[in-house]
């Protein structure tokens, strides 16, 4: 038993819109535990759509169509499906009445082209559209094959899915098993290195464990198939515990947690405060910290010391050290951290100075070289050097720098 | 001659990520005038991937794969393609060397699992990946069929497409008729209002004009079909000129230009400098300004005055005014702007103070209330009040606040 998502629309082939319908339906099918192995996008073309129906109807039992139900001549999904299965279309008076009423509410009159939307294959059920004018269908054109059609408008499709399609699927005995996932998040380790550490888990049948990586972050998705969320959580818990033990401090959080939120919770629990001094990130670290609602409890602010003048004036960085070691140096990173910590009277001061590129690199100080400074209680200060590599580009170097600064503070807070 | 986009990844079937790669490639193929009629998504499963290759290789001449090139065991795209065509994989020393170098730059050592990424089908060309470790291939496994593979990471894929795939396709004689577009960008006007102003242009056949809107910004895409970029530009230029005249100051730039880059160019041309004082945006305005390489020419830095203590201590905001009017008030916005301008000795000081929510709103000062302060030459200071509405949510309120601050400075610079 599996499903296939078929999205119909030339606008998808032109790249005019993102296919958010496929993502929505994929998430919904996963939640219901209905496997789906293929998604197909095809334009508003009857011949090609028929080829797609022929292929899909041989390999799955549920076909879910979105798009092509509108009133214009290029909306062909319903007639093409009926034509493929050799079944005539029948006008439904209920639909005509519904469309007329909706147009009246909007102060409009139904046009002849809207009548097209009232034509559905003989034997199909109407899948009502509470908000729009184009209804869908639920149809079993032959035993063992069920077809759902939805309009392409996401908000209309979502309500139709939730209010009619899900109850129908459950009434047919589908969706008894659910899939529940936890996304475990890691920082400071490469995807390949983590995958080797947890290699034994990557071939488990249930829960499954799959690695992902994006923008310097590595994730493991742990997904369980079970009769209920509680049972899935029971399957996942021991695996998650073991993986977290293996990963140690490289693991930082799960699901909606971010490095900024995790650092924030640690600071809040300790009643400690933080300020930042940013050079190459230009405010990106503060931006991450304040993305968390309630961050004012522990984050007091900072200084964007993009120009050296600001490093001296607002942070008290020593001008001779700036001249001798350059702005991108461990000593300047440390003085920036101490400067903001003391001026803002916070427990911690966290600083970033580096070369984000693409220009400004030298042989000894290449693009991607970043120093992070961390000033803590009792006058303790330290710094960390990173070489993120010029190839990553300005935007990613800045992002990874801000994340790595947070990660250093996180590790410090956890190891004290 | 047509292409098919095949995206490989179980994360797409689980709905974990939006398929932005399919949209990007669809747009790119449209730009090159290479038709594509199908997009397929399939999981990390060799048998099903082979079925997809069998179907697709019968109906199109160019197969474009994304995803499944990573170092982990579930990354199977390259081996499965080779296996389908019965061709052995060969380890490429060039790739091993490239991966080793990239790991070295990041201070890491290549792991054995990375070797897998150096295996490509015998006879295939390497499609170099300048930023990541997984290269793609360009391969003609049989006459009349060309295969491209790309990693799933969008930023890596985009560079590989632009730097290698496009020149290759053009060298093969594909992409003769081009579609060239200009994206005109507007700030401070609603999509519907702009669409009404330019209604006469929205039904042109060539170039076409289509409105888009996202995150507070409105865009008009002007696209021309032509034999060359120069000819397309000739079609677009008069239309663009007329639209810009209609829109006046609401138009701010085109294509890669951002509010931050446009403001930066205006400041640079005038030899003027800018500093910022941020409360609710927490660094987001500085982050936008410094996303532009070379911004140190005019942007000197700023203060993240998240806590009121910082507003007083580093910006000199009057404590009585803070107590009387609150941190979210026009008088505090003005004092923040003046404070940062004078302390950092810049031509302009730009400030933001507001309630980003979701908590912290009151009846008189609701979530979404934002004040922008602008201090300019000769002691002039002014402020602007905005009500962005709680419904937009914290992240969008912060983004729109930073953009609106830049837009105010832009209008000021243009009207002086």
Contact between B310 and A276 using a beta-carbon 8 Å cutoff: no
Interface of B with A in 25-64 (CB under 8 A): 25-30, 36-43, 45, 48, 51-52, 55, 59
Residues of chain A with C-beta less than 8 angstroms from the C-beta of B296? 306-307
Q: From CA A85, how far away is CA A69, in angstroms rounded? A: 18
d(CA A156, CA A129): 7
Domains and CATH numbers, chain B: 3-171 (3.40.980.10), 178-254 (3.30.70.2860), 259-415 (3.90.950.20)
Considering only the beta carbons, identify the residue of A28, A52, A302 that sits closest to B304. A302
Half-sphere exposure of A7 (CA within 13 A, CB side): 29
Which of A17, A41, A161, A309 is the best mutation test for B, with the most CBs of B within 10 A? A41
Q: Smallest Cβ distance to A283: which of B37, B290, B314?
A: B290
A residues 185-214 closer than 8 Å to B (CB): 190-193, 195-196, 199, 202-203, 210-214
SS3 B293: coil
Task: Let me know the angle formed at the C-alpha of A246 by A241 and A248, rounded to the nearest 5 degrees.
Answer: 90
pLDDT in tens, B237-265: 999 999 999 999 999 999 999 999 999 99
CB A289 within 8 A of CB B281: no
Q: Do B156 and B129 meet the contact criterion of CB atoms below 8 Å apart?
A: yes
Provide the 3-class DSSP secondary structure of residue A29: helix
Whether residue B11 contacts residue A212, with contact meaning beta carbons closer than 8 Å, is answered with yes
| pLDDT under 70: residue ranges of chain A | 106
Q: Are B137 and B124 in contact, with CB atoms under 8 Å apart?
A: yes
ipTM of the complex: 0.81
Among A304, A345, A394, which would you mutate to test the B interface (most chain B Cβ atoms within 10 Å of its Cβ)? Answer: A304
Mutate to test the interface with A, among B44, B158, B290 (most CBs of A within 10 A): B290
CA angle in degrees (0–180, nearest 5) for B222-B223-B225: 155
Give the residue from B15, B153, B275, B371 showing the smallest Cα distance to A215.
B153
Residue A410 to chain B, least CA–CA distance (Å) = 20
Q: How far is CA B405 from CA B278, B341, B410, in A?
A: 10, 15, 9
Q: Are B259 and B324 in contact (CB under 8 A)?
A: no
Nearest to A26 among B15, B71, B131 (CB): B15
What is the rounded CA–CA span in Å between residue B356 and residue B358?
A: 7
Instruction: List CB contacts (< 8 A) between A310 and chain B.
Output: 275, 300-301, 344
pLDDT, position A299 = 98
In this complex, do B295 and A301 lie within 8 Å of one another by their Cβ atoms? no
- A392 in reach of chain B (CB within 8 A): yes
DSSP characters over A35-87: -EEEEEEE-S-HHHHHHHHHHHHHH-SEEEEES--SSSTT--HHHHHHHHTT-
Least CA distance to A41: which residue of chain B? B39
DSSP string, A222-250: EEEEESSHHHHHHHHHHHHHHHHHHHGGG
Q: Is A182 on the interface with B (CB under 8 A)?
A: no
* Distance set, CA A131 to CA A102, A118, A266, A293 (Å): 9, 15, 46, 34
- Match 């950092």 to its residue by tokens: B344
pLDDT bin (cut points 50, 70, 90) of residue B397 is very high
**Distance of residue B353 Cα from the nearest chain A Cα, in angstroms:** 13
Amino acid A90: pLDDT:
94
Tens-digit pLDDT profile for residues B176-207:
778 888 999 999 988 878 988 998 998 898 99
Question: By CA distance, what is A182's nearest residue in B?
Answer: B16
Chain B residues 130-159 with CB within 8 Å of chain A: 130-131, 153, 155
* pLDDT value of residue B382: 98
Q: What is the pLDDT of residues B65-115, one digit of tens each?
A: 999 998 888 889 999 999 999 999 999 998 999 888 888 887 778 888 888
pLDDT at residue A75, rounded to an integer: 81
CB contact under 8 A, A14 and B27: yes
Chain A positions touching B341 (Cβ under 8 A) are none
From residue B143, alpha-carbon distances to B52, B80, B172, B186, B336 in Å are 19, 19, 13, 48, 68
Alpha-carbon distance of A237 to A207, in angstroms, equals 10
Tell me how far the alpha carbon of residue B133 is from its chain's centroid.
22
Is B299–A293 a contact, with Cβ atoms under 8 angstroms apart? no
Sole residue written with tokens 């038993």: A1
Question: Looking at beta carbons, which pairs linking B315-319 to residues 24 or more positions away fall under 8 Å?
Answer: B315/B277, B315/B339, B315/B340, B315/B343, B316/B342, B316/B343
A289 CB near a chain B CB, below 8 Å? yes
Number of residues written out for chain B? 416
Alpha carbon of residue A193 to chain centroid: 23
Percentage of chain B modeled with pLDDT above 70: 100
Classify burial at A286, counting beta carbons within 10 Å of its beta carbon; exposed 0-12, middle 13-18, buried 19 or more. Answer: buried
How many helices and strands (H and E) does chain A possess?
15, 17
The whole-number average pLDDT for the span B13-34 is 92
pLDDT of residue A54: 97
Residue B386 and residue B373 in contact, taking contact as beta carbons nearer than 8 Å: no
C-alpha to C-alpha distances, B406 to A273, B56, B379, nearest whole angstrom: 30, 48, 20
B268-304 per-position pLDDT tens digit: 999 999 999 999 999 999 999 999 999 999 999 999 9
Lowest-pLDDT choice from B294-298, B381-385, B392-396: B392-396
Distance of alpha carbon A327 from alpha carbon A369, whole angstroms: 12
A358 touches chain B (CB under 8 A): yes
Residues 6+ apart with CB under 8 A from A19: A7, A12, A41, B18, B19, B22, B23, B39
* Cα B275 from Cα B338, distance rounded (Å): 10
Strands B62-66 and B145-150: parallel
Dihedral angle sign, alpha carbons of residues B55, B58, B163, B108: positive
Assign B177 to helix, strand or coil: coil
pLDDT at A390: 87
- Quick one: pLDDT at residue B99? 87
**What average pLDDT does range B2-31 have in this prediction?**
93
DSSP A171-209: HTT---SEEEEEEEEEESS-HHHHHHHTGGGTT-SSSEE
How far is C-alpha A32 from the geometric centre of its chain's CA atoms? 20
CA distances from A137 to A32, A65, A147, B62, B229 (A): 20, 10, 7, 35, 45
The pTM for the full model equals 0.81
- Residue B165 pLDDT level (bands cut at 50, 70, 90): very high
In this predicted model, what pLDDT tens digit does every residue of A285-337 receive, in sequence order?
Answer: 999 999 999 999 999 999 999 999 999 999 999 999 999 999 999 999 999 99
Q: Is A12 on the interface with B (CB under 8 A)?
A: yes
| B338 pLDDT above the threshold of 80 | yes
- Position A99 scores a pLDDT of 85
Counted across chains A and B, CB pairs separated by less than 8 A come out at: 297
């Amino acid at each position: 038993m599996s499903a296939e998502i078929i999205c119909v629309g030339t606008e998808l082939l032109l790249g005019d819109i993102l296919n958010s319908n496929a993502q929505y339906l994929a998430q919904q099918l996963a939640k219901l535990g209905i496997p789906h192995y293929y998604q197909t996008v095809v334009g508003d073309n009857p011949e090609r759509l028929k080829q797609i129906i022929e292929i899909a109807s041989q390999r799955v039992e549920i076909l879910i169509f979105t798009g092509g139900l509108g009133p214009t001549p290029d909306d062909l999904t319903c007639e093409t499906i009926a034509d493929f299965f050799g079944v005539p279309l029948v006008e439904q008076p209920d639909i005509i009445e519904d469309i007329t009423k909706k147009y009246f509410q909007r102060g409009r009159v139904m046009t002849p082209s809207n009548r097209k939307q009232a034509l559905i294959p003989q034997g199909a059920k109407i899948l009502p559209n509470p908000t729009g004018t184009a209804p869908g269908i639920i149809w079993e054109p032959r035993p063992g094959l069920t077809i759902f059609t939805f309009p392409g408008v996401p908000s209309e499709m979502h309500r139709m899915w939730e209010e009619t399609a899900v109850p129908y699927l459950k009434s047919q005995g589908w969706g008894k098993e659910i899939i529940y996932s936890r996304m475990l998040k890691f920082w400071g380790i490469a995807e390949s290195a983590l995958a080797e550490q947890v290699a034994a888990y990557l071939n488990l049948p249930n829960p499954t464990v799959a690695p992902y990586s994006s923008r310097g972050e590595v994730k493991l998705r742990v997904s369980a198939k079970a009769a209920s969320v509680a049972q899935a959580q029971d399957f996942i818990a021991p695996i998650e515990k073991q993986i977290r033990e293996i990963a140690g401090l490289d693991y930082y959080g799960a699901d909606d947690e971010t490095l900024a939120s995790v650092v924030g919770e640690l600071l809040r629990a300790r009643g400690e405060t933080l300020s930042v001094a940013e050079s190459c990130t230009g405010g990106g670290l503060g931006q991450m910290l304040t993305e968390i609602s309630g961050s004012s409890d522990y984050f007091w602010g900072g200084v964007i010391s993009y120009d050296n003048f600001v490093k001296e004036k607002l942070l008290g960085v020593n001008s001779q050290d700036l001249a001798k070691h350059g702005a991108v140096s461990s000593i300047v990173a440390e003085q920036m951290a101490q400067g903001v910590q003391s001026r803002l009277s916070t427990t911690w001061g966290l600083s970033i100075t580096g070369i984000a590129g693409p220009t400004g690199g030298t042989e000894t100080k290449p693009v991607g070289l970043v120093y992070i400074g961390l000033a803590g209680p009792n006058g303790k200060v330290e710094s960390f050097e990173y070489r993120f590599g010029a190839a990553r580009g300005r935007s990613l170097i800045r992002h990874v720098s801000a994340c790595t600064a947070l990660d250093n503070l996180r590790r410090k807070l956890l190891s004290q």
